[in-house]
Structure 1
Amino acid sequence: MSLIDFSSDAFVVAFFLYCFAFMFYVIAIAGKKWSNRDPEKHEKKWGLIAFVTSSLGLVGHLTFFFTRWIGSKQIPTSNMYEFITFLGMAIMIAFTIVYAIYKKPLLGMFALPLTVIVVAYAAVFPQEVQPLIPALDDIWLKVHVTTAALGEAFFAVGFAAGLMYLLRVIDFSDKSKKGKRGQFWLEFSLYTIIIVVGFVIAVFAFRGMGYEAHFVQEKSTIDSKGVESTKRETVDYTLPPIVKPYNSQAESVDSFLGMDHAVFEAPYWMNGVNAGRKLNTVIWSVIAGSILYGLLRLAFRKPLAAVIHPLMDGIDPEDLDEISYRAIAIGFPIFTLGALIFAMIWAEKAWGRFWGWDPKEVWALISWLYYSAYLHFRLSRGWQGKRSSWLAVIGFVVILFTLIGVNLIIAGLHSYAGV
């Protein structure tokens, strides 16, 4: 067995250990209400079991990372699969550090699902080792990517704690306009998370079915001498084509529920070769996530936030607020070094300039400015509690767009990661 195969097995083991750890954290928190023994002892016992299990999962994840590094002879952060798996590992490292400080099992009930979703999302992308392009074969890239991801991982833990705070303090019996607004946005936050889960489920379901559709897109260009040329490119779909690429013809489309052709064509301004496929993926993510959300609402017969809210009873909201702030405060200087300073050093070595207004650079700067504002409002204006937690939740949405949206949607020098 090669090291690459061994690393893949270690990755699968880590994923299942994370899943088991999540279930143990749920038992530690939710199970203490039904325990005949001392609830505190129950939480401590199962919290320890969950922490040991999640730590073993992290060991498996680290094994995956280093064996893949040795086997491929390059740091495994060069494409979306490798970077997202590293981000999941970084979130677990950040969680382990924060948990060691505060020892709050409830944090694991929210951080572990986030890690599981991230790891499952990584598995959507091609897992083959891809050779590095020259711009990526540099020590500063390794430093830049790893430190930036570690900073973002602490932001993720801050997001989890902030979301927990909101689930703890928002009153679902409040029928005022302000109360309903808070309930709506909290429920919407959970809905967006479920859309990501729906995306993963949809991709794996159709991949398991072996679904394929192929389109040929024609694109005309005129060079500097006025000579027109036409380029034909094939676009491969693994999800049924609700929307096909602009100016394209179907080459072959598998039938799904009687649908053997695209419903409509991507708008003319989305004329990139993969723009239509990406729009199609977004639509399917919303459809699958909405179906999953609807089934959950049907099962519980109440908003999901209202279902989770009772689990927060007995938790000090000030502890959650403090954990969220501390995690972001730890992550901010790490993110500053990785996403800005080390990134600019690498950019100068790779492209001969420190800054070039590439979309990824712009959104990294936006993310940094956002969390700078968060810390400013927290420290100078005394924004704590709900205000601080909402900022932590929204901030991680900005981070997700910087990580995923920019790589997969906006064309730029970082688009290599979207393959």
Structure 2
Amino acid sequence: MSLLDFSSDAFMVAFFLYCFAFLFYVIAIAGKKWSNRDPKQHEKRWGRIAFIVSTAGLVAHLTFFFTRWIGGKQIPTSNMYEFMTFLGMAIMIAYTIVYAMYRKPLLGMFAIPLTIIIVAYASVFPQEVQPLIPALNSVWLKVHVTTAALGEAFFAVGFAAGLMYLLRVINFTDKTKQARRAQFWVEFTLYSIIVIVGFIIAVFGFRFAGYEASFTQEKVLIDNKGQDSTIVDTVNYYLPPIVQPYNSQIVEFQSFLGMDKPLFEAPYWMNGVNAGRKLNTVVWSIIAGTLLYGVLRLILRKRLGAAIHPVMEGIDADDLDEISYRAIAIGFPIFTLGGLIFAMIWAEIAWGRFWGWDPKEVWALITWLFYSAYLHFRLSRGWQGLRSAWLAVIGFVIVLFTLIGVNLIIAGLHSYSGV
């Protein structure tokens, strides 16, 4: 067995251990009502088991990371698969640190699923070791990407605790206008998470079915002298094409549910790498996520937030607020180093300038400014509780858009990471 094969096996072990850890955290929290033990003893016992299993998953994940690094002869953060697997590992590191500080098993019931979703999301991308392009072949890649991801991982833990706070304090039986607005946005946040799960289900479902379609796309390139040239690329789809690439022709198309051609073409202004295919993936994610959300609503017969709220009873809301703040406070200086300072040093080495208004650079700056404002309002204005929790949730949405959304619709120097 090669080192890369062993690395892949370690990755699968980590994924399943995370899944088992999540189940044990659910037993620790939700199982208290049916346990014959004292609820605190039940939570402590199963929480300890869950933490041990999640830590074992982290060890397996670290094994995957370092064996892939050695086997591939380069740090595994150079494409979307490797970066997202690293981000999942970083979230587990951040969670482990925060858990060691506060010893709250409930946090694992919300933080571990984030890791599971991100690891599963990473698995839809090509997993081969890809040679580094010249701009990436620098030691500053290692420090920039790893520290930026670790900072974002602490933001993810802050998001999990902030969402838990909202689910704890919002009254889902209140019919006032303000309460209904809060209920809607919490439900929308949960729906958005379900959409990501729907994306993963859709991709693996059609991959298992062997679905494939392809198009030829004409692109016009303009050089520095203003002269244009036309190139023709082949774009392969692995989900039924609802959206075809802009200015393209069908080469192969498998009919699906009576649909023998795409419904519409991607708009011309979506000029990111494979923008049409990615927009098609977004459409399918929304379709699959909405269906999954509908099934859960039918099973639970109530909104997801209202179904989760009773599990949060007895949890100290102030503890959740403190955990969210501490996680973000730890992550902010790390992200400042990785996402801005080290990134600018690397940009100077790779492209000969510290700052170039590349879309990813701009959104990294927006992320930094947002969390700067969060800490300012928290420390100077005394924004705690609901306001702080909402900012923690919104901040991580910005992080996700910076990591994923920019690659879907905007072309830039970082577009390679979406391939």
Q: Quick one: distance in 2 between partners of 1:62 and 1:153?
A: 15
How far off its partner does 1:407 sit?
A: 2.9
How far off its partner does 1:224 sit?
A: 8.0
Secondary structure of the 1:78 match is coil
Alignment of 1:81-100 (within 5 A): 81-100=81-100
Alignment of 1:85-164 (within 5 A): 85-164=85-164
For the pair 1:292 / 2:285, whether they are aligned, the reply is no
How far off its partner does 1:226 sit?
A: 8.4
Alignment of 1:223-372 (within 5 A): 229-270=229-270, 274-372=274-372
For the pair 1:204 / 2:204, whether they are aligned, the reply is yes
How far off its partner does 1:98 sit?
A: 0.3
2:94–2:154 Cα contact (<8 Å) kept = yes
How far off its partner does 1:408 sit?
A: 3.5
1:246–1:271 Cα contact (<8 Å) kept = no
How far off its partner does 1:33 sit?
A: 0.8
* Corresponding position of 2:55: 55
1:245–1:271 Cα contact (<8 Å) kept = no
Deviations 1:130-170 (A, max 9, x none): 00111111111100100000000000000000000000000
How far off its partner does 1:323 sit?
A: 0.2
Q: Quick one: distance in 1 between partners of 2:157 and 2:228?
A: 53
Deviations 1:45-92 (A, max 9, x none): 000000000000000000000000000110000000000000000000
Q: Quick one: distance in 2 between partners of 1:267 and 1:221?
A: 17
TM-score for both structures, normalised by structure 1: 0.98
In structure 2, relative to structure 1, the CA distance for the partners of 1:35 and 1:79 (3 Å cut) is same
1:233–1:273 Cα contact (<8 Å) kept = no
Q: Quick one: distance in 2 between partners of 1:62 and 1:417?
A: 22
Q: Quick one: distance in 1 between partners of 2:298 and 2:251?
A: 40
Deviations 1:196-216 (A, max 9, x none): 110011001001111000111
TM-score for both structures, normalised by structure 2: 0.98
Structure 2 unpaired stretches of 5+ = none
How far off its partner does 1:115 sit?
A: 0.5
Q: Quick one: distance in 2 between partners of 1:417 and 1:371?
A: 24
Secondary structure of the 2:128 match is coil
* Corresponding position of 1:413: 413
Q: Quick one: distance in 2 between partners of 1:115 and 1:23?
A: 14
* Corresponding position of 1:38: 38
Q: Quick one: distance in 2 between partners of 1:37 and 1:8?
A: 40
Q: Quick one: distance in 2 between partners of 1:379 and 1:356?
A: 32
In structure 2, relative to structure 1, the CA distance for the partners of 1:133 and 1:272 (3 Å cut) is closer
How far off its partner does 1:268 sit?
A: 3.3
Secondary structure of the 1:215 match is strand
Q: Quick one: distance in 1 between partners of 2:2 and 2:10?
A: 12
How far off its partner does 1:267 sit?
A: 2.5
How far off its partner does 1:220 sit?
A: 4.4
Secondary structure of the 1:192 match is helix
Q: Quick one: distance in 2 between partners of 1:7 and 1:227?
A: 47
How far off its partner does 1:228 sit?
A: 6.3
- Whichever residue aligns with residue 130 of structure 1, its letter is Q
Alignment of 1:382-397 (within 5 A): 382-397=382-397
1:43–1:105 Cα contact (<8 Å) kept = yes
In structure 2, relative to structure 1, the CA distance for the partners of 1:370 and 1:272 (3 Å cut) is closer
2:80–2:125 Cα contact (<8 Å) kept = yes
Q: Quick one: distance in 2 between partners of 1:344 and 1:273?
A: 23
Secondary structure of the 1:255 match is coil
Q: Quick one: distance in 2 between partners of 1:323 and 1:271?
A: 40
Q: Quick one: distance in 2 between partners of 1:225 and 1:45?
A: 69
* Corresponding position of 1:24: 24
2:167–2:309 Cα contact (<8 Å) kept = yes
* Corresponding position of 1:171: 171
Q: Quick one: distance in 1 between partners of 2:302 and 2:134?
A: 53
1:245–1:273 Cα contact (<8 Å) kept = no
Q: Quick one: distance in 1 between partners of 2:225 and 2:124?
A: 43
Secondary structure of the 1:216 match is strand
Secondary structure of the 1:60 match is helix
Structure 1 unpaired stretches of 5+ = none
Deviations 1:185-236 (A, max 9, x none): 0000000010011001100100111100011122345778887643221111
Q: Quick one: distance in 1 between partners of 2:220 and 2:336?
A: 43
Superposed CA RMSD: 1.4
The 10-residue stretch of structure 1 (262-271 or 59-68) with the greater mean CA deviation from structure 2? 262-271
2:279–2:408 Cα contact (<8 Å) kept = no
Q: Quick one: distance in 2 between partners of 1:405 and 1:11?
A: 26
* Corresponding position of 1:214: 214
Q: Quick one: distance in 2 between partners of 1:223 and 1:318?
A: 58
Deviations 1:372-393 (A, max 9, x none): 0000000000000000000000
Secondary structure of the 2:276 match is helix
Q: Quick one: distance in 1 between partners of 2:89 and 2:248?
A: 40
Aligned residues: 419
- Whichever residue aligns with residue 250 of structure 1, its letter is I
The 10-residue stretch of structure 1 (259-268 or 198-207) with the greater mean CA deviation from structure 2? 259-268
How far off its partner does 1:11 sit?
A: 0.2
2:271–2:410 Cα contact (<8 Å) kept = no
- Whichever residue aligns with residue 284 of structure 2, its letter is W
How far off its partner does 1:255 sit?
A: 1.6
